[in-house]
Amino acid sequence: MSATARKSAPLPDDIMAMKGGTPIVSLTAYTTPMAAAMDAHCDFVLVGDSVGMVLHGLPSTLGVTMEMMILHGQAVARGLSTAMMVVDMPFGSYEESPEQAFRNAARIMAETGAAAVKLEGGVHMAETTAFLAARGIPVMAHIGLTPQSINTLGGYKVQGRDAAAEQVMRDASAVSDAGAFAVVLEKVPAALADRITETVATPTIGIGASAGCDGQILVVDDMLGLFTAFKPKFVKRYATLGDDIDKAIASYADEVRSRAFPAPEHIFAEKAPSK
Ligand code: KIV
């Protein structure tokens, strides 16, 4: 979908209808200016719980809170006019019961204006997905590598290799049958991602999956080269803004120390006395 031709943000049903068509474009965002920069180019923007690692310096996404997601969701909403906004449900806010998930998802949607929430998990989250979808909360599922479960998955490994492929396939079918309007496939073998994409009715959004997915997502700070603590193999850097920032700040520091900044054009003269 050409965002320039679009007058208003798509709804989850519009994203669903993009299955098998022009790939769905999405990125994460956490702030108003970044959301505004991507608004015209993306079909949807995800306020990912990656915000915890990317902006708050947390070691994983496990420490992200409802308050953080709501605050960043509100900031992103102010920057968007033509892309749909999805907000991640943080660890501990939905796993206990469908009722807990509904309470927190409804709060996220009411306080941020998000069109949908994303939650991690396949078969074991199908009941919750159906519960939310039946009560007016569109759900984007997230399977394969689910970063909120790194402690039980044994780290950030590729998921679904060899015999484990069938479990990821079952996860995809379960969330699709439960009514998820899209499913993120993170770090799964390309052949498996292609098989899931061909099998389920729900659009697949790949991150470290396959170009054959119905859409792609990246963490914006990764693709801009702003987050450099580590670079997963699936990240393509479209810019090296981290290096530019480092150079700019080093020049500023040099110029302050040498008194080259501020220059005459940055300072104010006394006002000429009036006669
Ligand atoms: O939190 C996040 O940024 C995500 C994407 C990587 C899909 O879940």
Give me the residue spans of the domains in the chain: 4-257
Q: What is the pLDDT of residues 184-205, one digit of tens each?
A: 999 999 999 999 999 999 999 9
Cβ burial of 209 (10 Å; 0-12, 13-18, 19+) is buried
For ligand 1, the distance from its centroid to the CA atom of residue 264, given in whole angstroms, is 46
Closest residue (by CA) to atom 8 of ligand 1? 48
- Nearest CA among 130, 140, 244 for reference residue 186: 140
Which of 142, 218, 231 to probe ligand 1 with, by most ligand atoms within 8 A of CB?
142
For ligand 1, the distance from its centroid to the CA atom of residue 67, given in whole angstroms, is 17
Cross-strand partners of 27:
45, 218
Cβ burial of 177 (10 Å; 0-12, 13-18, 19+) is middle
For ligand 1, the distance from its centroid to the CA atom of residue 58, given in whole angstroms, is 15
Cross-strand partners of 186:
144, 207
| Region 210-237 average pLDDT | 95
Taking the C-alpha atoms of 185, 189, 195 and 201 in order, what is their torsion angle to the nearest 10 degrees? Answer: 0
Q: Is the CB of 28 under 6 A from ligand 1?
A: yes
pLDDT confidence of 2, banded at 50, 70, 90? very low
Q: Is the CB of 219 under 6 A from ligand 1?
A: yes
pLDDT confidence of 271, banded at 50, 70, 90? confident
Given 120, 166, 186, 255, which residue is catalytic?
186
Q: What is the pLDDT of residues 139-185, one digit of tens each?
A: 999 999 999 999 999 899 999 999 999 999 999 999 999 999 999 99
Q: Give the position of tokens 């939650």.
A: 119
User: Cα–Cα distance between 218 and 203 in angstroms, integer?
Assistant: 16
HEC readout, the chain: CCHHHCCCCCCHHHHHCCCCCCCEEEEECCCHHHHHHHHCCCCEEEECCCHHHHCCCCCCHHHCCHHHHHHHHHHHHHHCCCCEEEEECCCCCCCCCHHHHHHHHHHHHHHHCCCEEEEECCHHHHHHHHHHHCCCCCEEEEEECCHHHHHHHCCCCCCCCHHHHHHHHHHHHHHHHCCCCEEEEECCCHHHHHHHHHHCCCCEEEECCCCCCCEEEECHHHHCCCCCCCCCCCCCCCCCHHHHHHHHHHHHHHHHHCCCCCCHHHCCCCCCCCC
Is 127 annotated as catalytic?
A: no
State which ligand 1 atom lies nearest to the alpha carbon of 217.
Answer: 7
State which ligand 1 atom lies nearest to the alpha carbon of 147.
Answer: 8
State which ligand 1 atom lies nearest to the alpha carbon of 50.
Answer: 1
Closest residue (by CA) to atom 3 of ligand 1? 48
Q: Is the CB of 68 under 6 A from ligand 1?
A: no
Q: Is the CB of 216 under 6 A from ligand 1?
A: no
- For the structural domain made of 4-257, what CATH number should be given? 3.20.20.60
Mean pLDDT of the chain: 95
